[in-house]
């Protein structure tokens, strides 16, 4: 054997190597065992037969039964990719799910992520064109692929996963697929969904068969509060400690919160209380998970909980069905979700915290019953469950701004929007509003036909309004030359939630310390990025200035992609030409402001005796305030400057009142008429 031949001094090294190999073998073995233990495994052959016999199959099964990770692998194993000639796509409504599942599947197939198995999400493509056979992607990315490949000819199978989430992109995808399936007889479509809605998908696709994967699920005890709770976050924290101190280990806790800020606040108070209690309680590890959480921190939720310790996962509704976390025995559910809501008549879009549907809270409760009998603590009353919650969540298509999707459909040649096949049809006012918005932006002409500008706006991997801002900065006579700056700001605006490190008291002083005084949030973002760039994109600069390095790297990547798009469309060259004629120390700020007016003419508020009011057209506007975290708010307070008469904002957020976030003062009224004459034609600016 080896030991006889090897010289003494090498044996230690080789032993280490051997155990490492053994460990790796063992790991692969357990992965294979886990695969075989999943409920779908028992139906592998039946599923493959059904897929062979039907072009469209709807697969329904309990969360955690293996639909997302296993089905696409079965298709690969069954030869659908024809030795790499075709690809298999699996769409996800959420970016986190796409990346995390792709990583898991690459691991199961024992391949490098980004080669045979990859993912594609907006601004990040981790695939290799000639090598990737299995691709996890967001539904929005597949939707964009219709622009370059309207028959999706490189795919053999498409799995629309988590279809019950009913995102706008998923709904539109299903409509487009319904259109191409008759010409693409060899293309297989699998729609996978939690139990809600399955029959709706089936009837949409001419009564396609439903394949039900029976799940294993243990009983879950549901507990309600006796009275409604005024502060559900505090109540959730208290409940977590009650569970932790009274319930035996092991048994991890999953808590459903609405977003990053709430999760961070909960984490802070859990840590503070645990610290104060010290040795009196058992250890706990806190694992947050939300859409913007940096990828390398996501894996913490899947790590095995150490002995004599409890894991507490603080999650958004991403953990409702898209991600399965093993070992959860307790669910704490305040019953809220953050949902986009759009009012066509005012054109206002808001992210609101609203009660979940009954179907959602039932799904959430089910997360406690995967490993054994579990318990779910609802931070609301039983009465509320039966009388106040809606039965099903409202599909996104019925509560969102449709401009981007309408533009995409028009660019794909779908002109009969009313008869385009959709599971739920948007209202006529919502469609008209989208057309009107696109007309204001110049994406459509007065006959409703898509313009050249409109086609260009589609090319940008961002909302049409941002496309318009970028296009204006490169082409408009009084904006030309500001393209670089505008692209930087647009990239930064995509990541505003996590640019500055969250230490509230410090943060605000710190912002100005980074860049000096600025007049708007847009300029703050621009200077922050440029200061970082001037320091060679240094990590330590970020650390010193309390800016999140990882976020900035993402921004830089987004910026590069937007810039490549500008290059492709010839806008970069136009900009270069314009820069030559500009004075070197010309102030670019007016050009930047004007570019943003061109893209967001409807996001302007005017100061009235009672505060700011949006410039509503027919509705007469709404009262809004500058968000306290905005530099514009702080500048007004510190310098006692007269507040700006006009403010352009990027978003409205409703908390205690209606707040404008990411604000930019518009110094001159006539800029509005100059940039968007067909919108600001006299009377609607007189509010």
Sign of the C-alpha dihedral computed for residues 223, 226, 232 and 238 taken in this order: negative
Exactly one of 14, 326, 534, 576 binds ligand ADP (CB under 6 A); that residue is: 326
Retrieve residue 185's tokens: 């007889």
**Which residue, 56 or 105, is less far from ligand ADP as judged by CB?**
105
Instruction: Give the CA count within 13 Å in the CB-facing half-sphere of 188.
Output: 29
| Residue 173: other Cβ atoms inside 10 A | 23
Instruction: Give the CA count within 13 Å in the CB-facing half-sphere of 44.
Output: 16
Exactly one of 100, 170, 360, 363 binds ligand ADP (CB under 6 A); that residue is: 100
Retrieve residue 199's tokens: 């029959």
Exactly one of 43, 44, 58, 66 binds ligand ADP (CB under 6 A); that residue is: 66
Retrieve residue 572's tokens: 């970069």
Question: Which of positions 45-84 make contact with Mg ion (CB under 5 A)?
Answer: 67-68
Residue 127 in the binding site for Mg ion (CB under 5 A): no
Q: How far apart are CA 29 and CA 594, in angstroms?
A: 61
Q: How far apart are CA 174 and CA 267, in angstroms?
A: 39
Exactly one of 43, 47, 57, 65 binds ligand ADP (CB under 6 A); that residue is: 65
* Residue 378, binding choice from ligand ADP, Mg ion, none, Cβ under 5 to 8 Å by partner class: none
**Which residue, 114 or 643, is less far from ligand ADP as judged by CB?**
114
Angle made by CA atoms 151, 155, 161, in degrees to the nearest 5: 100
Q: How far apart are CA 289 and CA 298, in angstroms?
A: 6
Sign of the C-alpha dihedral computed for residues 479, 402, 437 and 649 taken in this order: negative
Least separation in angstroms between residue 259's CB and ligand ADP is 22
**Do β-strands 623-626 and 611-614 pair in parallel, antiparallel, or remain unpaired?**
antiparallel
* Residue 520, binding choice from Mg ion, ligand ADP, none, Cβ under 5 to 8 Å by partner class: none
Q: How far apart are CA 651 and CA 237, in angstroms?
A: 30
Stretch that binds ligand ADP, among 100-108, 268-276, 389-397, 635-643 (CB under 6 A): 100-108
**Which residue, 165 or 465, is less far from Mg ion as judged by CB?**
165
Question: Which of positions 279-308 make contact with ligand ADP (CB under 6 A)?
Answer: 302
**Which residue, 74 or 232, is less far from ligand ADP as judged by CB?**
74
Give the closest residue to 196 by CA, choosing from 57, 360, 426. 360
Provide CB contacts within 8 A for 223, sequence distance 6+: 375, 376, 377, 378
Least separation in angstroms between residue 23's CB and ligand ADP is 17
Exactly one of 51, 63, 134, 484 binds ligand ADP (CB under 6 A); that residue is: 63
Stretch that binds ligand ADP, among 96-104, 113-121, 201-209, 340-348 (CB under 6 A): 96-104
Binding mask 4-43 for ligand ADP (x = CB under 6 A): ----------------------------------x-----
Retrieve residue 40's tokens: 């779908």
Stretch that binds ligand ADP, among 60-68, 81-89, 177-185, 461-469 (CB under 6 A): 60-68
| Residue 196: other Cβ atoms inside 10 A | 21
Least separation in angstroms between residue 97's CB and ligand ADP is 8
Angle made by CA atoms 602, 605, 610, in degrees to the nearest 5: 145
Least separation in angstroms between residue 46's CB and Mg ion is 19
**Do β-strands 309-315 and 252-256 pair in parallel, antiparallel, or remain unpaired?**
parallel
User: Residue 342: what are its φ and ψ, rounded to 5°?
Assistant: -125, 130
Give the closest residue to 172 by CA, choosing from 438, 468, 403, 360. 403
Exactly one of 57, 64, 239, 511 binds ligand ADP (CB under 6 A); that residue is: 64
**Which residue, 320 or 521, is less far from ligand ADP as judged by CB?**
320
* Residue 69, binding choice from Mg ion, ligand ADP, none, Cβ under 5 to 8 Å by partner class: ligand ADP
Stretch that binds ligand ADP, among 58-66, 463-471, 489-497, 565-573 (CB under 6 A): 58-66
Residues that bind ligand ADP (CB under 6 A): 38, 61, 63-70, 100-101, 104, 302, 324, 326
Residues that bind Mg ion (CB under 5 A): 67-68
């Amino acid at each position: 054997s080896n030991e006889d031949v090897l010289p003494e001094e090498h044996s230690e090294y080789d032993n280490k190597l051997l155990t490492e190999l053994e460990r790796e073998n063992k790991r692969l073995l357990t992965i294979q065992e886990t695969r075989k233990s999943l409920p779908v495994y028992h139906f592998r052959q039946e599923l493959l037969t059904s897929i062979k016999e039907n072009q469209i199959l709807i697969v329904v099964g309990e969360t955690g039964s293996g639909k997302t990770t296993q089905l696409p692998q079965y298709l690969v194993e069954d030869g659908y990719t024809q030795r790499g000639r075709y690809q298999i796509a699996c769409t996800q409504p959420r970016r986190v799910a796409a990346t995390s599942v792709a990583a898991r599947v690459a691991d199961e197939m024992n391949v490098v992520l980004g080669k045979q198995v990859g993912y594609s999400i907006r601004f990040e493509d981790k695939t290799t064109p000639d090598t990737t056979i299995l691709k996890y992607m967001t539904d929005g990315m597949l939707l964009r692929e219709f622009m370059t490949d309207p028959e999706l000819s490189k795919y053999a199978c498409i799995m629309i996963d988590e279809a019950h989430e009913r995102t706008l992109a998923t709904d539109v995808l299903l409509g487009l697929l319904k259109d191409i399936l008759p010409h693409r007889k060899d293309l297989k479509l699998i729609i996978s969904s939690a139990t809600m809605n399955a029959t709706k998908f089936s009837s949409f696709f001419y009564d396609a068969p439903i394949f039900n994967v029976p799940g294993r699920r243990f009983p879950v005890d549901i507990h309600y509060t006796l009275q409604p709770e005024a502060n559900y976050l505090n109540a959730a924290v208290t409940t977590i400690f009650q569970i932790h101190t009274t319930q035996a280990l092991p048994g991890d806790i999953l808590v459903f919160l609405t977003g990053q800020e709430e999760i961070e606040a909960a984490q802070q108070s859990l840590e503070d209380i645990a610290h104060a209690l010290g040795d009196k309680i058992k250890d706990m590890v806190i694992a947050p998970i939300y859409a913007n959480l940096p990828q390398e921190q996501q894996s913490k939720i899947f790590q095995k909980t150490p002995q004599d310790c409890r894991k507490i996962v603080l999650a958004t509704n991403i953990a409702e069905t898209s991600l399965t976390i093993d070992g959860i025995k307790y669910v704490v559910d305040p019953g809220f979700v953050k949902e986009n809501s759009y009012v066509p008549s005012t054109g206002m879009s808001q992210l609101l915290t609203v009660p979940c549907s009954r179907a959602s809270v039932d799904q959430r409760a089910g997360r406690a019953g995967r490993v054994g009998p579990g318990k779910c603590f609802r931070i609301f009353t039983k009465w509320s469950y039966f009388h106040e919650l809606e039965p099903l969540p409202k599909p996104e298509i019925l509560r969102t701004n449709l401009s981007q999707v309408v533009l995409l459909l028009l660019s794909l040649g779908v002109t009969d929007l009313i008869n385009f096949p959709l599971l739920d049809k948007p209202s006529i006012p919502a469609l008209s509003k989208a057309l009107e918005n696109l007309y204001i932006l110049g994406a459509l002409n007065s006959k409703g036909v898509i313009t050249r500008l409109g086609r260009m706006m589609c090319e940008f991997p961002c909302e049409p309004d941002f496309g318009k801002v970028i296009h204006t900065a490169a082409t408009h006579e009084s904006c030309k030359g500001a393209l670089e700056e505008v692209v930087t700001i647009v990239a930064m605006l995509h990541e505003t939630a996590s640019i500055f490190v969250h230490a509230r008291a410090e943060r605000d002083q710190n912002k100005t310390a980074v860049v000096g005084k600025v007049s708007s949030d847009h300029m703050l973002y621009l200077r922050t990025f440029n200061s970082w760039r001037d320091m060679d994109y240094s990590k330590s600069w970020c650390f010193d200035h309390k800016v999140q390095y990882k976020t900035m790297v993402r921004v830089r990547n987004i910026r590069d992609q937007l810039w490549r798009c500008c290059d492709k469309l010839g806008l970069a060259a136009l900009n270069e030409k314009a820069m030559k004629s500009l004075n070197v120390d010309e102030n670019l700020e007016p050009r930047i402001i004007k570019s943003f007016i061109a893209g967001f003419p409807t996001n302007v508020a005017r100061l009235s005796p009672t505060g700011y009011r949006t410039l509503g057209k027919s509705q007469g506007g709404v009262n809004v305030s500058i968000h306290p975290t905005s530099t514009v708010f702080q500048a007004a307070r510190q310098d006692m400057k007269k507040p700006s008469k006009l403010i352009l904002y990027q978003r409205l957020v409703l908390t205690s009142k209606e707040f404008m976030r990411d604000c930019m003062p518009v110094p001159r009224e006539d800029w509005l008429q100059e940039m968007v004459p067909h919108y600001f034609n006299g009377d609607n600016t007189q509010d």
